[in-house]
Amino acid sequence: MTAVAAGRRPAPRALPVAPGWWADAAGSAAFLSLLAVTALWTTNRGVQELLSGVPTGLTSAGRLAGLLSTDLMLIQVVLMARVPLVERRFGQDRIVRWHRLVGFASFHLLLAHVALTTLGYAGTAREGVVAQFWLLVSGYPGMLLATAALALLTLVVVTSIRAARRRLRYESWHLLHLYAYLGVGLALPHQLWTGADFVSSPAARAYWWTVYLLALGSVLAFRLGLPAWRSLRHRVEVATVVPEAPGVTSVWLRGRHLHRLPARAGQFFLWRFLDGPGWSRAHPYSLSAPPSEDLMRITVKDLGDGSARVAALRPGTRVLLEGPYGRLTGEHWRGGGVTLLACGVGITPLLALLWELPYAPGRAVLLYRARTPQELAFRAELDRLAAERGVVVHHLVGPRADRPSWLPRHAAELTDVEALRRLSPDIAGHDVFLCGPDGWVDAAQAATRAAGVPDEHIHHERFAW
């Protein structure tokens, strides 16, 4: 099987893009939902009770905190439901950042809801705080389920803190993160049975049932339904497995009518290989070659149990796919020069872009960062791109610099901007594509901006979870 089946590739597909006003509309809808929640609280005597003394005021503030927490939690679910319109407009990087911010805000409001409500009830009943908390949990309908929901959401939040996340395998973190859905579901009975703001009026009932059903429908349609339909339609399976470098493996996948997938070079899928226990956990791997009518290629670095298993896949193994996702595509290219900066396995989507983009000879520059010569993947393919397409390839090999930088240590006597301008002299007029780990992308992006490239011409994907 050749490195890239150039003669069999269809023309790149134009992917659907949300209109420019849609981003503002989506942000406004999220803000209006929080405003609607506050209005519902107000119409249910929220302000009057807030000003009616300390215990009653604490309880009322706790009610508002709980309502806002629930609304943000449902926004968070929709953000990560992988709705195609949302994905194509904002991209995974931005969505993941919003997901984290909204998630932590929702959790802090949830803790405030528990604390303020307990203090308010304790003040009204003249009970101790601990005794009142136990009375709430054990004596109110749905509160045991709500307590279990709080425990699950606490587990998800704690394991989402960067320090904790780095200590977990991706597979373990992903499995724990799914408990957030269970937490949202367990909280619903408490809200319906004891939450006056949920059932106080027809408007409140209509609002909350609408947003709950919207969140549930998004998950069912786009996290379950669409991937299942595409997997059944295209019947993807492993064709062959090819080692590219130590710990780096490419997998060629074959299937039916793959050219009808709305996928382009630079995008990624979530993959589930039906090769035994653990198949249910999805892993995000980018396309490393433009998809053809019946072939796709992904390239994987051994970073955990799931990625280590890829090297042992056998031809014929069935594959479930979810996607495509990502905005690191040729649609952003303006038709002139292009500079691509890759670190480690970040070469994967950029290699696919180098094959797809119709740049002129000498108008594409690749800066490829690796720790050792052995970690440089696709040497023969990059040599072919240099010979056939005129790509200027610079290998930047060596240990990290002693300062935050995208350069290796031996080149760190230059500033990041000086090095960038030497290696790609015309970069200020280029479109720039970046892919690699978080810190490295930050350093490369800062250098690119300082070299005169506007933000709208810088496109990046981060390999982080």
According to the model, what pLDDT value does residue 232 have?
94
How far apart are alpha carbons 325 and 86 in whole angstroms?
10
Distance of CA 326 to the CA centre of its chain: 9
E-only strand ranges, 107-262: 237-245, 248-254
Single pTM value for the model: 0.78
* Stronger pLDDT, 200 or 372, i.e. the higher one: 372
Q: pLDDT confidence of 13, banded at 50, 70, 90?
A: low
Report DSSP state, residue 290: -
In tens, the pLDDT along 98-136 reads 888 898 999 999 999 999 999 998 988 888 888 888 888
Backbone angles phi, psi at 403, to 5 degrees: -135, 160
According to the model, what pLDDT value does residue 45 have?
84
Share of residues in the chain with pLDDT > 70 (%): 89
Q: What single letter denotes the amino acid at residue 152?
A: L
H/E element, 21:
helix 21-43
According to the model, what pLDDT value does residue 172 have?
67
Domain 235-325: CATH class, spelled out: mainly beta
H/E element, 134:
helix 129-139
Q: How would you class 293 by CB atoms within 10 Å of its CB: exposed for 0-12, middle for 13-18, buried for 19 or more? A: middle
**Closest listed residue to residue 153, CA positions, set 111, 190, 116:** 111
Q: How would you class 311 by CB atoms within 10 Å of its CB: exposed for 0-12, middle for 13-18, buried for 19 or more? A: middle
According to the model, what pLDDT value does residue 278 have?
75
According to the model, what pLDDT value does residue 112 have?
93
Whether residue 15 is predicted with pLDDT greater than 70 in this model: the reply is no
The Cβ-side half-sphere exposure at 21, using a 13 Å CA radius, reads 0
3-state SS class at 226: helix
Interval 222-236 mean pLDDT: 93
According to the model, what pLDDT value does residue 3 have?
45
Whether the CA torsion 63, 65, 69, 75 is positive or negative: it is: positive
330-462: CATH topology is Rossmann fold (3.40.50)
Whether residue 177 is predicted with pLDDT greater than 80 in this model: the reply is no
**Closest listed residue to residue 319, CA positions, set 268, 282, 345, 286:** 282
Question: Mean of the per-residue pLDDT values for the chain?
Answer: 85
According to the model, what pLDDT value does residue 358 have?
92
Whether residue 166 is predicted with pLDDT greater than 80 in this model: the reply is no
Q: How would you class 407 by CB atoms within 10 Å of its CB: exposed for 0-12, middle for 13-18, buried for 19 or more? A: buried
Burial 212-234 (b: 16+ CB within 10 A, else e): beebbebbeebbeebbeebbeeb
Record the tokens describing residue 393, joined without a space: 């390839």
